[in-house]
A = this chain, B = another copy of it.
């Protein structure tokens, strides 16, 4: 057999790492469901022309070919590629099923996506995303732009007790930026945003120069843009600061005011529903050719270098079929990157890598059925149980449990099959027990995810 080696960019976890990932996924799913999001899954592939229709070749799509397809023949199949996000497939799903869905349609979707990027950049080629979106038919009320980041804040907040650092959701509004730039007299809005997006990388002086050379900004206009990008805060004083800046530069516009009203409403609601989590940050850009209202990025406090773990925004045209336009707002969590950091930084750990709470020992192979019966009785009451693989010496069977982190070993009784004794192998304490009534304490019942210390 060929040498086995991990594939760079395709992360896999050992069973205890998977316990952590599964807990994260279960927590997200449960939170999304509590907020009324319906779960869907879409196929992993889309026609290549759909994947590329926004000019998304930068995403390094993986194209599929059937091994036995004749390379010289014109393949009757449409060319297919693996999806690189869950937004393109969702837009297609909405159009395909528009007549069978009720709008506004709230959905969550947790699936793998693939991008053929260089794994040495610390990026994965295969990773799980967890998305929530609300999409309307024709219209979508603004209040969803407030609701969705708060759902994500709640979902991530529910992971705090297992060791997830606090999150900070940075929000901006495209109307604010565009309104301000246009008020200044800068009409190349995308150019300005693209250059301001480089702020953290190249610094303000370089950005000011780029705004001049690439967007025709005067030094005064560039200064104004940089001042706007510098505004940040978690209460509505941010709105006043932007308004004052606009007044100082004579940059007030209707669009700016509309954006400030939206941003203010978001900040205000967030201060009540998720105090301290949402921060207005006027330099957040996020490919604003796509988004048309609120935009979101999320950092783990203390792990800002990891970049945004949950991003999204409002788009006026998620999909369109000529007859209807479907506006939406959504956010996407990069689950694999998050879990990878939680594990590699030792922030969280699983109490064990197997579900098993109890190992039933086997006295002799002839008596295996007795041990199976004990196991069945415990499982019937929802207790995860394994039976020892061999009727080895009890010391060996205890070692089998110990190596897997199984906390209890059950020794079947000689006479009454259901009666026996159960030993907590951590403390050594052993008590008489009946398989029809005994249960482990709640904290030992299932593997738990706990802070890594």
CB-based nearest B residue for A38: B15
CB distance from A420 to the nearest CB of B (A): 18
B62 adjacent to A64 (CB under 8 Å): yes
In the complex, A81 Cα to B144 Cα: how many Å? 40
Q: In residues 80-104 of chain A, which contact B (Cβ within 8 Å)?
A: 80-82, 92-93, 95-97, 100-102, 104
A438 within 8 A of B: no
A367-394 to B contact mask, C-beta < 8 Å, 1/0: 0110010001001001111110110000
Of the listed stretches A3-11, A218-226, A341-349, A421-429, name the one at the interface; the rest are far from the partner chain. A3-11
CB-based nearest B residue for A92: B4
A143 within 8 A of B: yes
The one of B67, B107, B114 in contact with A116, judged by C-beta atoms closer than 8 angstroms, is B67
Number of copies: 2
For A321, the chain B residues whose CB sits under 8 A away are: 1, 4
A450 within 8 A of B: no
CB-based nearest B residue for A39: B18
A126 within 8 A of B: yes
A337 within 8 A of B: no
The one of B19, B68, B390 in contact with A141, judged by C-beta atoms closer than 8 angstroms, is B390
A442 within 8 A of B: no
For A66, the chain B residues whose CB sits under 8 A away are: 60-63, 116
Number of interface residues of A (CB under 8 A): 98
B40 adjacent to A7 (CB under 8 Å): no
A194 within 8 A of B: no
A35 adjacent to B107 (CB under 8 Å): no
Of the listed stretches A47-55, A195-203, A204-212, A249-257, name the one at the interface; the rest are far from the partner chain. A47-55
A61 adjacent to B57 (CB under 8 Å): no
For A5, the chain B residues whose CB sits under 8 A away are: 96
B273 adjacent to A372 (CB under 8 Å): yes
B57 adjacent to A82 (CB under 8 Å): no
With contacts A34-B385, A45-B126, A62-B67 known, is A15 near B39, CB below 8 A? yes
For A432, the chain B residues whose CB sits under 8 A away are: none
A36 within 8 A of B: yes
A44 within 8 A of B: yes
With contacts A368-B143, A372-B273 known, is A355 near B37, CB below 8 A? yes
A81 adjacent to B57 (CB under 8 Å): no
A355 adjacent to B36 (CB under 8 Å): yes
The one of B40, B69, B356, B400 in contact with A15, judged by C-beta atoms closer than 8 angstroms, is B40
B22 adjacent to A39 (CB under 8 Å): yes
A166 within 8 A of B: no
For A319, the chain B residues whose CB sits under 8 A away are: 1
For A73, the chain B residues whose CB sits under 8 A away are: none
CB distance from A94 to the nearest CB of B (A): 9
CB-based nearest B residue for A389: B104
The one of B34, B63, B322, B383 in contact with A65, judged by C-beta atoms closer than 8 angstroms, is B63
A353 within 8 A of B: yes
A42 within 8 A of B: yes
A379 adjacent to B35 (CB under 8 Å): yes
A354 within 8 A of B: yes
Query: 6 other contacts beyond A1-B321, A21-B41, A35-B384, with CB at 8 A cut-off?
Result: A15-B107, A18-B40, A35-B385, A36-B356, A62-B66, A273-B372
A-B contacts, 29 of them at CB < 8 A, read A1-B320, A1-B321, A5-B96, A7-B43, A7-B45, A7-B80, A10-B43, A12-B41, A13-B40, A13-B41, A14-B97, A15-B101, A19-B39, A21-B41, A33-B355, A33-B446, A34-B379, A35-B386, A36-B355, A36-B356, A36-B385, A38-B355, A44-B112, A44-B114, A61-B67, A67-B116, A143-B365, A147-B387, A273-B372
